Amino acid sequence: MEPLQAGDPRQVGAYRLVGRLGGGGMGQVYLGLSPGGRQVAVKVVRPDFAQSDSEYRTRFAREVEAARRVGGLHTAPVVDADPGGNPPWMVTAYIPGPSLAAVVASIGPLTLEAATALGAALAEGLAAIHACGLVHRDLKPANIIMADDGPRIIDFGIARPMGEAPLTTPGTLIGTYAFMSPEQVATDAATPVSDVFALGCVLVLAATGHPPFAGSTAPAIMHRILHDQPDLGEIPGSPFRAVVMECLSKDPSRRPRAADLIARLSPGLDAAASVAHGNVPAMPSDRDVIGLEPPTQPPPAEPVAAERHENVSITQHANAQPGSVVIQIAGNAKIGDDDQ
């Protein structure tokens, strides 16, 4: 968490702001306190966008609706919102933890078992999103929070209902280069299996420390996504590798649905069960990873090549309910904001 800056608001609605959690192309996210003292995440649309471009108000209202629509076990509830405010804002429950990008950059790639468990949890979250008729469109390591009770998918800032007309001008790319599907690179409409392609990219980074279509420039990355085979590094031949390859098919019709991936990846959750019996050490907390008080969501970090740590397990963040996924709304990213 960063301190508030000179131009930041100190109060939004009934919520007192105490620090910056992160931001993106559309707005800024703050750590706030409810009137009763509970920590919350407060997302505020950038004033210049809110005042000069109605598209951003429409997109923000859509984000609030998307967050509410997913609901239930897979979301941190929307506490409060005012899409028509000046500027528009939304408040969600705050759940601390480092992003997957920060974890991999800090401690290196996950073990095969840990990456498999992560895949099952994220597939469950995507299945819940898709069941509500939504496409996330920007699944990436920076949008996955490694909370104590399991990984959580965040940021519905560019989510869109299936079949709904896009807000952006034709030819505009929305997403993050290294985790975009071929059809998104080609600026075609994104579908649920576009999220599945992004899931494959995320799992490769989690297991190897690098994305499957790395490059030094955006055009190079996009060319590889469209034409090259993914670089799976040292991922051994396994059911996990086979699933990742299917997710990364350039033909959308050949990719599995998120709901179908849960059962195929769930054996990896056996590793999670061992945590409850004290068989593996605890994963470093967000405080250990980013060295901040109180625990907060760190900014996205560039993944780096690192030695594999065999004692690291994703399940060490899932002590209470292995494989459970909650979706929290926090932050926002669009193309060019970051790579991870």
Element (H, E) at 288: helix 286-290
- Token reading at 247: 């997710």
Contact, 116 vs 267, CB < 8 A? yes
Bridge partner list, 120: none
**Residues annotated as catalytic (active site), given as ranges:** 138
Q: What is the per-residue DSSP string for 173-202?
A: --S-GGG--HHHHTTPPP-HHHHHHHHHHH
Q: Is 41 helix (H, G, I), strand (E, B) or coil?
A: strand
Contact, 143 vs 334, CB < 8 A? no
Q: Is 146 helix (H, G, I), strand (E, B) or coil?
A: strand
Instruction: In whole angstroms, give the CA distance from residue 47 to residue 294.
Output: 28
326-328 vs 150-154, strand pairing mode? parallel
